[in-house]
Amino acid sequence: MPSKLALAFTAALAFTAPSSARADVDGAVTCGSALKIKHANTKHILASQPVAYASGSGQQSVTAIKNAGEEAYWLIHGAVGEDCARGAPVTHGMTVRFRHAGTRAWLHSHEHRSPLSGNNEVSCFGGDESSDTGDNWIVEVPSGSGTWEMGKKVRFKHVDTGAYLQSHGLKYGRPIAGHQEVMAQKSAGPNALWTTEGTGVFFPTAQEIAAKDEL
């Protein structure tokens, strides 16, 4: 029987011809793609798991882990109520949502206190029929313009709170021992930088398709 992750990929990739590629090499990150997101400073991977926070919102936990498997794939969608065509490059200032491939919930934040550092909590929330503006994140390229490129550093600013997705060295105990806290903080320091990691499934841009057709 197919895994939840395989079913999620099948639904996300229907009717379009994607390509498998390294997520840490050159090329645009595009809407509809599935990828792993790595914290630039600690090299841990953004992940989620069906374990609820014991405090704060009580929603599904989001952490960063060293050796990430299926729990670390995220599908890129447009902002709530907005279309994000498959293969459209994600550019500086664009608002997107990240759907956790395994559980179908959305990367979310709010002003509940995060368990370890007391910053804004980051969780996974909602599902196929439920998403709100708490799931919206603005992609920021450090140069202030251009496209989010695979392997290049970017920041993610939460629309509702103005806080940046971050991680650091603080780690949880049981039942998610060794998992690093992920939280959101208003100041965008070095812990707010993320990049892509490992293999993923990417929809080519129109320019990439045209270039391939010319070969």
Q: What's the rounded mean pLDDT across residues 137-147?
A: 97
Element holding 198 (H helix, E strand):
strand 194-202
* pLDDT score of 42: 97
* pLDDT score of 1: 41
Q: Report the C-alpha gap between 51 and 112 in whole angstroms.
A: 17
Q: Report the C-alpha gap between 181 and 101 in whole angstroms.
A: 20
Total number of domains in the chain:
1
Percent of the chain at pLDDT > 70 equals 84
* pLDDT score of 21: 57
Q: Report the C-alpha gap between 111 and 118 in whole angstroms.
A: 10
Render pLDDT for 157-178 as a digit per residue (tens, 0 to 9).
Answer: 999 999 999 999 999 998 899 9
Q: Is 71 helix (H, G, I), strand (E, B) or coil?
A: helix
Percent of the chain at pLDDT > 90 equals 74
Encoding tokens for residue 106? 């959305």
Q: Is 155 helix (H, G, I), strand (E, B) or coil?
A: strand
* pLDDT score of 207: 67
Query: Which of 49-63, 124-138, 195-209 comes out lowest in average pLDDT?
Result: 195-209
Give the end-to-end CA distance of the chain in Å, rounded to a whole number: 39
- Residue 75: is its pLDDT beyond 90? yes
Measure the CA angle with vertex 141, ends 135 and 142; round to 5°. 125
Render pLDDT for 2-36 as a digit per residue (tens, 0 to 9).
Answer: 455 544 444 444 333 455 555 666 789 999 999 99
Residue 159 sits in a domain of what CATH number? 2.80.10.50
- Residue 113: is its pLDDT beyond 90? yes
Higher pLDDT: 198 or 69? It is 69
- Residue 203: is its pLDDT beyond 90? no
* pLDDT score of 209: 60
For 135, phi then psi, to 5°, come to -100, 0
Q: What's the rounded mean pLDDT across residues 135-158?
A: 97
Query: Which structural domain range is residue 63 located in?
Result: 4-214
Q: Report the C-alpha gap between 160 and 141 in whole angstroms.
A: 19
Encoding tokens for residue 74? 């995220």
User: Which among 1, 23, 15 is positioned nearest to 68, based on CA atoms?
Assistant: 23
* pLDDT score of 11: 46
Max intra-chain CA distance, the chain? 56
